[in-house]
Amino acid sequence: DTGVSQDPRHKITKRGQNVTFRCDPISEHNRLYWYRQTLGQGPEFLTYFQNEAQLEKSRLLSDRFSAERPKGSFSTLEIQRTEQGDSAMYLCASSPGQTGTTIYFGEGSWLTVV
Amino acid sequence: QKEVEQNSGPLSVPEGAIASLNCTYSDRGSQSFFWYRQYSGKSPELIMFIYSNGDKEDGRFTAQLNKASQYVSLLIRDSQPSDSATYLCAVRGTNAGKSTFGDGTTLTVKP
């Protein structure tokens, strides 16, 4: 079991640039989640997929954020025209998808917008 | 009102004591409840989950759920300095989709 893998682990970017994060879930998990966490706050839900279908997207998520999971395996989260307020840890998680099963987090991708 | 509420702490207990962490939630339809531990700069790691009213024990950890009161707690017995971390409560609704997290309680166990 290789766990949830995220890349890159750290990213520093200038305001206005685009960034993309990749997540590889645990291989047998068909649900994949993206969360964002800032200092002193709990993880905030962004979106989740079952296989390749994006089933829910947070209403708080601006149009600058987009996520894909084209073949139902890995996923990407892109942030366009980054702002300083986007600085956070972006967490990917996966689960087998049955009701009540737990989600398992990757190590996170830290984004700093300067 | 946040969907999942936790006291931010910090909660400080001496080594060997029982630490009690509490969480309330607003959605009565919530079905699954989770406790995660998060060390500074790291991602959350699952400690326990509970689905039914009552207690569930796993080693030094006991999760307690009271759906009527919309309350879930985590007890840590024989607390160790290595238990010092932020503890996150998470709640999942009926659609088995997203989990909603509280902002966590910071626990410090003093030697």
For A27-83, write each residue's pLDDT tens digit. Answer: 888 899 999 999 999 999 999 999 999 998 998 788 999 999 998 899 999 999 999
Q: Does A107 touch chain B (CB under 8 A)?
A: yes
What pLDDT is stored for residue A98 in this prediction? 66
| A97 in reach of chain B (CB within 8 A) | yes
Predicted confidence at residue A13, as pLDDT, reads 98
Q: For residue A41, what are the contacts with CB-CB under 8 A and spacing of at least 6?
A: B103
Q: Is B62 on the interface with A (CB under 8 A)?
A: no
Distances in Å between the alpha carbon of B19 and those of A8, A33, A39, B9, B110? 36, 31, 23, 12, 12
CA distance A110 to B41: 10
DSSP string of B25-77, one letter each residue? ES-TT--EEEEEEE-TTS--EEEEEE-SSEEEEETTEEEEEETTTTEEEEEES
Q: Which residue has the tokens 């060390």?
A: B39
- How many angstroms separate the CA atoms of A30 and A36, rounded? 20
pLDDT for the residue A60: 75
pLDDT of residue A99: 59
Residue of B nearest to A5 (CA): B43
**pLDDT at position B10:** 92
One-letter amino acid for residue A96 of the chain: P
Give me chain B's average pLDDT, please. Answer: 93
- Model confidence at A100, pLDDT cuts 50, 70, 90, reads low
Half-sphere exposure of residue A97: CA atoms within 13 angstroms, side-chain side = 16
B3 backbone φψ class: left, alpha, beta (φ>0; ψ -120 to 50):
alpha
Tokens 């659609």 map to which residue? Answer: B95
Inter-chain residue contact B51 with A100, CB threshold 8 Å: yes
| C-alpha–C-alpha distance, residues B11 and B31, integer Å | 28
- The torsion angle over the Cα atoms of residues B1, A54, A101 and A43, rounded to 10 degrees, is -40
Q: pLDDT by residue (tens digit) across B3-43?
A: 999 988 899 999 999 999 999 999 998 889 999 999 999 99
Predicted local distance difference test score (pLDDT) of residue B2: 78
Mean pLDDT of B90-102: 83
User: Searching chain A, which residue's CA lies closest to the CA of residue B9?
Assistant: A40
Is B51's CB within 8 Å of A107's CB?
A: no
Contact between B31 and A102 using a beta-carbon 8 Å cutoff: no
Testing the interface with A: which of B25, B34, B43 to mutate, by most A Cβ within 10 A?
Answer: B43
pLDDT score for B9? 83
Chain B contact set for A45 (CB, 8 A): 98-100
Bridge partners, A31 (sequence order): A50, A95
Radius of gyration of chain A (CA): 13
Categorize the per-residue pLDDT at B95 as very low, low, confident or very high, splitting at 50, 70 and 90.
low
